[in-house]
Amino acid sequence: MATKTKFDPKNMDTLLSAERRSRLDAQRVISALPIMAHHRVADIGCGPGYFTIPLAKYLFDGKAYALDIRTEMLDATRQSLEAVHLTNVDLMQSKEKQLPLEDASLDGALLSFVLQEANDPGALLKETLRCLRKSGWLAILEWHKRETDGGPPLEQRIDEEEMGALTAKVGFRMAAWRTLNDSQYMVLLRK
C-alpha cells in the first residue's frame, strides 16, 4: 500500500482560518457528541488544536488529551491553550498505530480528518477502541468521497459505506451519521 498524503504542518494556519470556522463550526460538532462535562476525551490527530480548545472548555470537570504525531502541531496547540489559560489538557506525542493512553481510559475520542491519512486505518481504529471504556464513543469526521474544493486526494478519502464496514470490522457499533457540510461528514460510533 502506498504511503498516504499527510497534511503539511506548514499549512496549519488554514486549519484555524475564519473560512474553515464558517464551514465547520467546532461548537456545532461538539453539541452533536454524547459528551459530558466530566468525561475524559482524546482529540486524536489534534493538529493545531481546532477542536481541542472547545473540547477543553466543555470538559470543565473532565480532561482532554491532545494527541498528534507531529511536534509542530502539539506546540501550536500548547500555545493556543496557554493563550486561553486552559489547564485540563494533556498534550501527548503519539504514533500512528500506538496511542500513549491506558486501556479503557477514555469516555470518548475524536478523529477529525486523520483516518484517511492513516497508512493503516484499521490499526488506528483498533488502538482507539482499546483506549475507550465500555460504551465509550468515537466521533469520526471525514471528507465525502467526491470532488470538493480543497481536502485530500479523492482516492485517499473514505466513503460512508467503506467507513461503516471498516469500523464494524474493528468492533464499533454505528450510533449516528450526519453531513456536516457539502464536503464533510461525521459518524458517531459506540464501543
Give the whole-angstrom CA distance, residue 104 versus residue 116. 24
The whole-number pLDDT of residue 17 equals: 72
* Predicted confidence (pLDDT) at residue 1 exceeds the cutoff of 60: no
Q: What confidence tens digit (pLDDT) does each residue in 5-50 have?
A: 777 777 777 777 778 878 899 999 999 999 999 999 999 999 999 9
- Residue-wise pLDDT tens digits, 107-151: 999 999 999 999 999 999 999 999 999 999 999 999 999 998 888
Mean pLDDT of 173-183: 95
Task: Return d(Cα 14, Cα 154) in angstroms, integer.
Answer: 19
The whole-number pLDDT of residue 3 equals 67
**Which one, of 84, 87, 27, lies nearest residue 58 by Cα?**
27
**Residue 2, pLDDT above cutoff 90:** no
The length of the chain is 191
**Which pairing describes strands 184-190 and 132-143: parallel, antiparallel, or unpaired?**
antiparallel
Looking at domain 25-190, its CATH superfamily turns out to be Vaccinia Virus protein VP39 (3.40.50.150)
- For 48-83, the pLDDT digits (tens) are 999 999 999 999 999 999 999 999 999 999 999 999
Are 127 and 109 a contacting pair, CB within 8 Å? no
Q: What is the pTM of this model?
A: 0.93
Is the pLDDT confidence value at 100 over 60? yes
Q: Are the C-beta atoms of residues 42 and 67 closer than 8 Å to each other?
A: yes
Instruction: Note whether 35 and 58 are within 8 A (CB).
Output: yes
Encode 75-107: b = buried (16+ Cβ within 10 Å), e = exposed: ebbbebbeeeebeebebbebebeebebeeebbb
How many Å apart are CA 10 and CA 28, to the nearest integer? 27
